[in-house]
Homo-oligomer: A and B are copies of this chain.
Amino acid sequence: MRIGELAKRAGTSTRTLRYYEARGLLPARRADNGHRTYDEDDLRLLREIRTLQDFGFELEETRPFLECLRAGHPAGDSCPASLAVYRRKLAELDDLIGRLADVRDQVERQLAGAEEAAGGAAAPRCEMTP
């Protein structure tokens, strides 16, 4: 399988695959003419990357999962290093979500206050409009 087919089957671009190779994430064998050659295992690895990327993992964070699969384990998260990434990500997510929730509440309060101020000045009557 050449790069174009792999890209199509994984729903990504050839540029992306070359980028992954340059980053050492998904190295490719070469045919005699220099063309990159991939097999079904590469497709599996690529899908692992894409799945994790969809979860918001950085490329570097997917590396342990790939190494785990290459080591012959049934799943990318069958290795301690992968679990460590999961836990780190979980903590990051909790932290981020917590901060965003705080911001959300502050913005909501600001909005409520500003709406009240505007409504109170522009339409000081009660909202009993027929």
Contact = CB atoms under 8 A, between A and B. Distances in A.
Contacts of A56: 100, 103
Interface residues of A, number: 30
Given A110-B86, A114-B83, A100 B103 contact: no
Interface centre among A96, A104, A117 (most CB of B within 10 A): A104
This chain's copy number in the assembly: 2
Interface stretch (A11-19, A30-38, A39-47, A87-95): A87-95
A106 B57 CA distance: 13
B82 A114 contact: yes
Contacts of A80: 118
B103 A55 contact: yes
A56 to B, nearest CB: 6
A58 interface: no
A87 B103 CA distance: 13
A59 interface: no
Given A55-B107, A86-B111, A97-B100, 17 more contacts: A56-B100, A56-B103, A75-B114, A77-B110, A77-B113, A77-B114, A78-B114, A78-B118, A82-B114, A83-B114, A86-B110, A89-B107, A90-B104, A90-B108, A93-B103, A93-B104, A94-B104
